[in-house]
């Protein structure tokens, strides 16, 4: 995330979801949304940041959280990287294991919510992503309202770092 700040000259608020990182609690879809709401409300109310200056950024699972927030709260732009259409769609892509079956309780239905997002939307996905198929990122992009841009992370797998041209394209988009 430091590269994001340095390349774009943006302030970044990073927070953990319940049950992730150093946060206590049990991971759940409602818990992730509540954490995002708390972070957003803190920025707007306590720090007095204007919503039209807030860029929501979600990578992978974070894309589900950012999309939900963007569908409900005012913001400057939505940036989604390496994210999926929904958890059930992800469960369908691989043999159903006990771990993936338990995740299907969570929906994170980005495909359903993306049409309710206002403001510019920038979506990036790797063409070698072995965890989340490129086709899911492309499907979200097709469903997204204008203005929007799709950026192909050429040669990138799911956990690869962002190439320099990603930051250049994103900075241009945000201007």
Task: Indicate which residues carry an active-site annotation.
Answer: 60, 129, 158
**CA 169/CA 49 separation, integer angstroms:** 25
Starting at the edge strand found earlier in the chain, the sheet holding 148-153 runs: 55-59, 77-81, 121-126, 148-153
Q: Which residues contact 171 (CB under 8 A, 6 or more apart)?
A: 7, 8
Spatial separation of the C-alpha atoms in residues 46 and 33, rounded to whole Å: 19
* Three-point CA angle 146, 124, 83, nearest 5°: 100
Residue carrying structure tokens 């294991």: 97
């Amino acid at each position: 995330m430091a590269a994001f700040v340095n390349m774009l000259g943006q302030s970044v608020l990073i927070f953990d979801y319940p049950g992730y990182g150093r946060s206590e609690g049990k991971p759940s879809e409602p818990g992730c949304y509540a954490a995002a709401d708390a972070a957003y409300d803190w920025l707007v109310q306590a720090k007095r940041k204007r919503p039209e200056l807030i860029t929501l950024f979600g990578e992978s699972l974070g894309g589900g959280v950012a999309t939900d927030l963007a569908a409900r709260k005012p913001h400057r732009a939505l940036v989604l990287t390496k994210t999926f259409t929904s958890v059930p769609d992800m469960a369908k892509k691989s043999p159903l294991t006990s771990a993936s079956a338990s995740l299907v309780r969570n929906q994170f239905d980005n495909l359903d919510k993306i049409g309710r997002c206002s403001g510019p939307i920038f979506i990036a996905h790797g063409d070698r992503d072995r965890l989340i198929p490129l086709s899911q990122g492309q499907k979200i992009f097709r469903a997204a309202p204008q203005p929007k841009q799709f950026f192909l992370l050429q040669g990138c797998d799911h956990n690869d770092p962002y190439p320099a041209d990603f930051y250049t394209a994103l900075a241009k988009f945000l201007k």
